[in-house]
Structure 1
Amino acid sequence: MDERWLTVEDICRYLNVSNETVYKWIEQRDMPAHRVGRRWMFKQNEVDDWVRSGGASDKADSNDSDEKRG
């Protein structure tokens, strides 16, 4: 059974996050996304695997954590 492609809006609703967060995850955390023309598209199973592996976890950048320990 083929899984349908999800849009940014679909993923935002699915993960309950803003589109700004999704674009940041694509750029900074290697969120699995595929460029189709000018749009980003997603396969739900790839996103699920990425979330399970910790890709969406709140992790401070090393610079931020160093400043907090300061």
Structure 2
Amino acid sequence: MESDVMTIREVADYLKLAEKTAYRLAADGKIPGFKVGASWRFRKSEIDRWIVAQEQGRN
């Protein structure tokens, strides 16, 4: 079963970013994520919605 929840490494790969950049964006609240203890987690569905919103904001 594939999980909808991604780690910082997985979201960085998905967005084609450095892990450090993904971490900074998450910490600044610029990409949707949540913390489990000290670790960031991201729902793929929310990241996909965020991508669409970013695309629509440019038009």
Bin the TM-score by the shorter chain.
0.7 to 0.9
Unaligned runs of 5+ in 2: none
Deviation at 1:4, TM superposition (A): 3.1
Please, what TM-score do these two structures have when normalized by structure 1? Answer: 0.65
Runs of 4+ in structure 1 off by over 4 angstroms are: none
- Which is bigger in relative contact order (C-alpha 8 A, separation at least 6)? 2
> What TM-score results when the alignment is normalised by the length of structure 2?
0.75
Cα RMSD between the aligned structures?
A: 2.4
**Structure 1 vs Structure 2: percent identity of aligned residues?**
24
User: Which structure shows the higher helix fraction?
Assistant: 2
Aligned length: 55
Q: If you compute each CA radius of gyration, which structure gives the higher value, 1 or 2?
A: 1
Task: Structure 1: give runs of 5+ residues left out of the alignment.
Answer: 58-70
